[in-house]
Amino acid sequence: MRRLLLALLAPLTLPACLQLQQLTEPKRELPVTKVVLYQNGVGYFERRGKIRGKEVELRVRPDQVNDVLKSLSVLDLSGGTPSSASLPVERSGDRLAQELPPQVRNATGMLGLLQVLRGAEVEVDCDLGTLHGRVVGVETTQRHYVNGNGEQVSSEPILTLMSGEDQLQTVAVSQIGRLTIGDRTLSVGLQQSLDISKSDGAWKPISVTVRLAGDESHDLIISYIHEVPVWRPAYRAWVESGKGIQLQGWAVVDNVSGEPWNDVNLTLVVGSPLSFRYSLYAPHTVERPDLSSRLPQTAEAPPPPDVGFAPEAPPPPSPAMAESDFDGLGLSGAGSGGGGAGYGRGYAKSAKMSAPPSPMREARDQSMAMAARQQAQRAQVQDQMRRQEEEARRDAMQRSAQALVQGREVGALYAYEATTPITVPDRSAALINIVSRKIDGKDIFLFRDPQSGDSPFRAVMLKNGKESTIEGGPITLYIDDTFAGEGFIGRVAKDETAFVPYAKEGGFALNLQQDARIDELHLAKIIDGRITIQGKRVSTRTVKLESNRDKPSLAYVKLALTGGMELVNPPKELVRAGNEVYLPVEIAAKAKAEAKLVESTPMEIVEMGLTPQVLDAFRYYLQGTNLVDAVAGPIRELLAAQEQRAALERDQENLSRQQQILEADGQRIQGNLDSLPAGAVAADLRKKLVEQLATTAKKQAETTKKLVEGQVKLAAIDERVRTSLRQIELK
């Protein structure tokens, strides 16, 4: 069977084998010398080298070919010019298979192939000699034979050929040594079917051949882009109290290009230039409209015989407690040391006066003094060793954080260019140090939602300088050489500040109060009795913070800005981020503190009378120096009239209260009269009640008269004010 298969495929696959041998022979390709990775999922590649001849080959993966065709650039530094680039037309296996004859497309295995060759002309070399004919079919026959185990049955395929017009010959498939297919269409189809099976599910590079003008040597740079994994940054930050932050950033770079990057010039670009996919490799056919419906749908039948019928639409550093703070507690080095020395001298003098020291006591004192000195020396040595260790760790940290790249601006982007060649094997990832510098920053407390009542975050405030943008990524934080937590840093541009929370901590009580008022009112204009007042609407938010911690703290409180308003005298260390601000609050140990955020916006009010705001604007105007007599005089009269009106209103209120009292008394007296019995017994009392009722009615009448007179006076004042306002003109 094996000999039959080799014999069958030998004449058909010989050209394909030669082609396979040519593809697998090692060919000299231009090496990758430069790689630029972007954060939009594409990479720029350069190949550089010298060749002799007219052609250079570029092998790319099928998933890269569209980007390569879209961006391929060939430069000949020797003075030559590229003439063309060619590659095989993309034809998918499914499409090729559909183009094969169905007999070949559906055939599987040797017997299946022989069965689908039914009717084809073949030449068979077998034990019987060379047979010619057309394949009739393959059938399985059974053969009986006897051996030591008794009678056995075996099955054997038999090929039947029609060698003439009326002759049939049979030959066992096992006896066939060579089979030649005489039908050219079937043999080519079989080769294509084998090619499809070979490449199915396998990585098969596409060869792009660049043709050059001339046979001389060419110094070439071939560049292109294709899709790559996005490089990702990750950061480490060492925070030391009062010494800022040592920031170190690493980039994770993946090479899945299909070939190693050996000693390439690597560049990592921060930013995302626009890019897209576009199919250039697969043949593109245009859908054409089908106008078959316009063809006649039915044929016209012969007319009936004539029979005569008619037709039919998107702070400052944390205050550390100074030595003077300890002085007030009596814990400073000078104060405590002085007191201890005085007490020691007094004790020694008293002991000397009472009795001379014995030799044993002197020896003991000397031994204790020596032990104390040795202990002090050991402590000094340990302290010195600790400082040396910290210094060595700091130096080692800075040396290990040496960035292997240099940054520079590239238009609106920022690029990290490796200072030494980089090697990244295929299907591997590499860590490359891209950032290593000292930046300003400190450890703080952050209230991200002051109205929620949640505990604040422990956070690190990073102040980026003017060197470069820091791309977003995870960050590991070390506070005073101790792991403190992990966070995520967003994209921080030059001169921007970022807050990176890494833990939660209690010990604070926060209260947020808000107040709004209208301030700085002044008279703008008066035209035809319409008074225009300009001023400011002021909003003040007060953050009150109480700390239960044993150390001073610096906290930042995140607040949203009010739309259309501007900040008034913001704190120096305030941090603004878009429509939000971070308000700093410095607070001592176990103390209370507060900070204010003041916003204001201009406003304009138009009034037709003497409202409280108009009166305030009039008074503010009269306090100025640039007064217009034609305006100031009437305004003073209006203010006087308003005071008179206010006095009248107070009198009216008093009269109204008296009126209410008199009405109540009259109702009470009338009720008493109505309840008296008839007869002479209650005559005197009735008389007195009648007199009281008359007096009350008289007082009511007088009060009513005064109320009416007051209303008349108020109406007169209002009319006078309206007339005066219409006569004042201020522009």
Task: Indicate if the pLDDT at residue 544 is higher than 90.
Answer: yes
> Tokens at residue 291, please?
């106008």
CATH number at residue 691: 1.10.287
**Sign of torsion, CA 566 572 574 576?**
positive
Which neighbouring-strand residues pair with 444? 459
Query: Do 220 and 237 have their domain in common?
Result: no
Structural domains in the chain (count): 4
- In the structure encoding, which two tokens stand for residue 144, read together? 């009986």
d(CA 166, CA 295) in angstroms, rounded, equals: 50
Judgement on whether residues 670 and 704 belong to the same structural domain of the protein? yes
Q: Note whether 721 and 604 are same-domain residues.
A: no
User: Does 208 share its domain with 74?
Assistant: yes
Conformation bin of residue 276: beta by default, left when phi > 0, alpha when psi is -120 to 50: beta
Query: How many Cβ atoms from other residues are within 10 Å of residue 105's Cβ?
Result: 16
Can you read off the two tokens belonging to residue 532? Answer: 């225009």
With 0-12 / 13-18 / 19 or more C-beta atoms within 10 angstroms meaning exposed / middle / buried, residue 201 is exposed
Q: Is 481 left (phi over 0), alpha (psi -120 to 50) or beta?
A: left
The values of phi and psi at residue 351, to 5°, are -65, -40
pLDDT bin (cut points 50, 70, 90) of residue 284 is: confident
More confident residue, 476 or 273: 476
Residue at which a domain ends, from 463, 479, 506: 506
Q: Give the percent of the chain with pLDDT over 70.
A: 77
Residue 614 lies in a domain: no
**438 in a domain, yes or no?**
yes
Q: Distance between alpha carbon 476 and the CA centroid of its chain, in Å?
A: 18
From the list 66, 414, 85, 432, the residue with the least C-alpha distance to 261 is 432
Q: What is the C-alpha to C-alpha distance for residues 350 and 169, in angstroms, rounded to an integer?
A: 141
Evaluated on CA atoms 567, 571, 572, 576, the torsion sign reads negative
Name the residue among 634, 643, 627 with its Cα closest to residue 723: 634
Rounded Cα distance between 599 and 565, Å, is 6
More confident residue, 113 or 94: 113
What value does the mean pLDDT of the chain take? 78
Find tokens 């840093």 and name the residue: 489
pLDDT at 302 > cutoff 90? no
For the cut 50, the answer to whether the pLDDT of residue 66 exceeds it is: yes
Which among 536, 588, 598 has a CA at the least distance from the CA of 567?
598
Residue 489 β-bridge partners: 473
Residue ranges of alpha helices (H) inside 61-148 are 65-71, 93-99, 102-105, 109-116
379 is a domain residue: no
3-state helix, strand, coil in the chain (%, to 5): 35, 35, 30
Q: Is the pLDDT of residue 307 over 60?
A: no
The reply to whether 339 falls in a domain is: no
User: What is the pLDDT confidence band of residue 386, given thresholds at 50, 70 and 90?
Assistant: low
Helical packing angle, 184-199 and 2-24, nearest 10°: 60
Least confident of 157-171, 193-207, 568-582, 652-666: 193-207
Do the beta carbons of residue 581 and residue 613 sit within 8 Å?
no
For residue 602, tell me if it sits in a domain.
yes
What are the beta bridge partners of residue 492?
470
What tens digit of pLDDT does each residue of 418-477 get?
Answer: 888 889 998 898 888 888 888 998 999 999 999 888 889 999 999 988 877 788 899 999
Same domain, 584 and 641: no
Q: Which range among 107-121, 202-216, 312-326, 517-531 has the greatest average pLDDT? A: 517-531
User: Same structural domain for residues 461 and 584?
Assistant: no
Does residue 191 share a domain with residue 110? yes
Give the DSSP letter of residue 731. -
Q: By percentage, how much of the chain surpasses pLDDT 90?
A: 23
**437 belongs to a structural domain:** yes
Q: How many Cα atoms within 13 Å fall on the side-chain side of residue 464?
A: 21
Task: Choose the final residue of a domain: 228, 243, 264.
Answer: 228
Quick one: pLDDT at residue 337? 39
Instruction: State whether 218 and 100 are in the same domain.
Output: yes
Residue 682: CB atoms within 10 A of its CB come to: 14
- Whether the Cβ atoms of residue 582 and residue 499 lie closer than 8 Å to each other: yes
Name the amino acid, one letter, at 625. Answer: T
Q: Which of 478, 506, 534 is the last residue of a domain?
A: 506
Indicate whether 547 pLDDT > 90.
yes
pLDDT tens by residue, 28-65: 578 999 999 988 889 999 999 988 888 888 888 888 88
Burial per residue of 207-219, b for 16 or more beta-carbon CB atoms within 10 angstroms, e otherwise = ebebebeeeeebe
Pairwise CA distance, residues 101 & 17, whole Å: 23
DSSP string computed for 154-184? EEEEEEEEE-SSS-EEEEEGGGEEEEEE--H
CB contact set of 338 (below 8 Å; sequence gap of 6+): none
pLDDT at 155: 79
Q: Which residue has the higher pLDDT, 156 or 463?
A: 463
User: Which of the pair, 197 or 365, is modelled with greater confidence?
Assistant: 365
What pLDDT, on a 0 to 100 scale, did the predictor assign at position 325? 39
- 366 within domain boundaries: no
The pLDDT value recorded for residue 375 is 81
Can you say whether residue 5 is alpha, beta or left, with left for phi > 0 and alpha for psi between -120 and 50 degrees? alpha
| Eight-state DSSP code of residue 301 | P
User: Is residue 530, in this structure, part of any structural domain at all?
Assistant: yes
Q: Is 119 helix (H, G, I), strand (E, B) or coil?
A: coil
Most confident listed range (109-123, 288-302, 517-531, 698-712): 698-712
Q: Identify the helix (H) or strand (E) that includes residue 50.
A: strand 42-52
| Coil, helix or strand at residue 229 | coil
Pairs from 93-100 (Cβ < 8 Å, separation ≥ 24): 93/196, 93/199, 93/200, 96/192, 96/196, 97/193, 97/196, 99/192, 100/189, 100/192, 100/193
pLDDT the model gives residue 28:
57
Q: What is the phi/psi pair of residue 40, to 5°?
A: -115, 10
Q: What is the per-residue pLDDT for 404?
A: 57
CB of 177 closer than 8 Å to CB of 7: yes
The dihedrals phi and psi of 657, each to the nearest 5 degrees, come to -65, -40
- The pLDDT value given to residue 15: 42
- Residues 685-730 have pLDDT tens digits of 888 888 899 999 999 999 999 999 999 999 999 888 888 888 888 8
- 216 with 239, same domain: the answer is no
Kindly tell me if the per-residue pLDDT of 526 is higher than 80.
yes
Give me the pLDDT at residue 560, please.
93
What average pLDDT score do residues 406-419 get? Answer: 72
pLDDT bin (cut points 50, 70, 90) of residue 312 is very low
Tens digits of per-residue pLDDT, 331-383?
333 333 333 333 333 333 333 444 555 677 777 777 888 888 888 888 888 77
Cα(57)–Cα(29) distance, rounded to whole angstroms? Answer: 7
Same domain for 88 and 189, yes or no, is: yes
Does residue 537 register a pLDDT over 60?
yes
Whether residue 328 is predicted with pLDDT greater than 80 in this model: the reply is no
Query: Rounded mean pLDDT of 142-146?
Result: 68
Residue found under tokens 């601006």: 409
pLDDT, tens digit, 9 for 90 and up, residues 241-262: 778 898 988 999 999 888 889 9
- pLDDT band at residue 208 under the 50/70/90 scheme: confident
Domain that holds residue 110: 2-120+183-228
By DSSP bridging, strand 232-240 and strand 473-479 are parallel
For residues 24 and 113, membership in a common domain is answered with: yes
Closest C-alpha among 607, 691, 709 to residue 651: 709
pLDDT band of residue 201 (cuts 50, 70, 90) is very low
Same domain, 428 and 548: no
| Rounded CA separation 115/108 (Å) | 10
